[in-house]
Structure 1
Amino acid sequence: MSADVRSAARHIITHGGVEGLTLAEIARRVEVTPAALYHHFEGGLPEIVYRVAEDIIEELVQILQSAAASHPAENFAMRMIEPTRALRRWAITHQPEFNLLFGTPSTAAGNAHRDMTSAWVRRLAAVWGPIFVQAWAERPFPVLAEDEMDPRLRQQMQDYRQDTGVNLPPGAMVVMLSCWRSLYGQIALEVFGHFAPLFTDQEPMFELLMRELMHGMGLEDQYQPPTR
């Protein structure tokens, strides 16, 4: 029954957004009473949302890892860029799911939203983190020295390293997270239509960002344009 409940909840989110998710609607679709759902999900609706998010994250991570693996291990730029392209394509075609994971916290998720966010932060770190670690070891890029960093920022980078297991010095960690901040902003602007209708094709802007990020890391020679 757990799988049926998660499937029903996912269908509601996909077709109507997380705002349309209620215990009553899920129960109706799996033909049980709302109270019966608590036998499988003691945390109620927030737990169901969390489990659905886990399913989505698992699917997304597999897509991203497959994209990274499509390039040789020594091509650090493309092993970073290809999963980023895959994330953009997935976000555009899965806007409700993207909104659940990366958008405004939903009422349905309740207190589970923080745990849900922590979960995907770790999983995504496992996609790009090892590539950054290898790139830093073999082709180190310019970073802030630790004594140049705000102590609060340095401590947060150290905490992030401990939490995710991405073994980078604080300065290199700042570069990795700055890349994520830039690409997330670009993708979110496109997914939520903030540039429409001025820009109907935002791929050129996205690719320009990819090239700029690789230039900053000294990896621009490895950049390859997307295949058509």
Structure 2
Amino acid sequence: MAAGGRRARLRAELRADVLAAARLIVVEHGVEALTLTQVAQKVGVTPAALYHHFDRGLPDILAQVADDIVDDLVAELTEAAGRYAADNFAMRMIAPSRVLRSWAIGRRREFCFLFGTPTEAAGDEYAAVTTRWVLRLAGVWGPAFVELWAVRGYLAPSTHNLEPRLLQQMHEYTTASGLPLPPEAALVMLDCWRALYGQVTLEAFGHFSPLLGDQEPMFEQLMRDIMSNLGLAEQYEAPNRH
């Protein structure tokens, strides 16, 4: 193998090792524990050497780790939605929602990394990271909303009643996400996401405990409420606990 090829392979291997080490630190100790020094120690190089692979150092590492976590999460969510027929709109929404809840509870530190308070270590990169995962998640739930809107529609507010700034943001969101939805339909989708995100976040961060030790019933009631509001109550299926 030519020297250049070996160098490229070694660089790729080191980069992969750095990202694996950084993710392990996040999983075991939380993003607050992630420093260049900690990562460098785990892969056996100096902190300065990391800049040869990540131009801006820790913010670049954090951004790539976040993207990797989102990749894995989106794959799980997409697989869950894909288990149901194209016209089973409710379960194509509910299945990935259940996976998100389970993932958030079981992998709290990664959830906090993506969805919690921005870490100072990410710097200006955090806004870009957030934008990317928002758009990636739109690709999980969005298609079901798009197809439901096209086939039978759902109750949505009149655009005449939307505050102009909100209306403009909905136009920007649908353009950025590539979802062919009118702004009022996109707003309903985002309202559903806000409800889901709020429920999952409260549970993942332990804000209900110990008053509500078992929060699955509350989560499932939220799923029923959302589906009822979308005109999909008849498609709701209770969790399979076997």
TM-score w.r.t. the length of structure 2 is 0.93
Question: 2:236 is matched with which residue?
Answer: 223
For residues 12-161 of structure 1, what are the structure 2 equivalents within 5 Å? Answer: 12-161=25-174
The amino acid across from 1:73 in the alignment is: A
Deviation at 1:215, TM superposition (A): 0.5
Question: 2:210 is matched with which residue?
Answer: 197
Question: 2:192 is matched with which residue?
Answer: 179
Question: 2:10 is matched with which residue?
Answer: none
Separation of aligned partners in 2, 1:225 and 1:194: 25
Separation of aligned partners in 1, 2:214 and 2:193: 21
Deviation at 1:148, TM superposition (A): 1.6
The amino acid across from 1:128 in the alignment is: W
Separation of aligned partners in 1, 2:164 and 2:126: 28
The amino acid across from 2:85 in the alignment is: P
Separation of aligned partners in 2, 1:131 and 1:216: 15
Q: Percent identity?
A: 55
Deviations 1:186-226 (A, max 9, x none): 00000000010111110000000000001001001100000
The amino acid across from 2:165 in the alignment is: R
Separation of aligned partners in 1, 2:173 and 2:142: 11
How well do the aligned residues superpose, as a CA RMSD in angstroms?
Answer: 0.6
Moved over 6 A (4+): none
Q: Which runs of 5+ in 2 are unaligned?
A: 1-13
Whether 1:9 aligns to 2:25 is no
Larger gyration radius, structure 1 or structure 2: 2
Separation of aligned partners in 1, 2:155 and 2:163: 17
The amino acid across from 2:160 in the alignment is: D
Separation of aligned partners in 1, 2:238 and 2:123: 41
Question: 2:220 is matched with which residue?
Answer: 207
Separation of aligned partners in 2, 1:175 and 1:208: 18
Question: 1:166 is matched with which residue?
Answer: 179
Separation of aligned partners in 1, 2:27 and 2:188: 34
Deviation at 1:24, TM superposition (A): 0.4
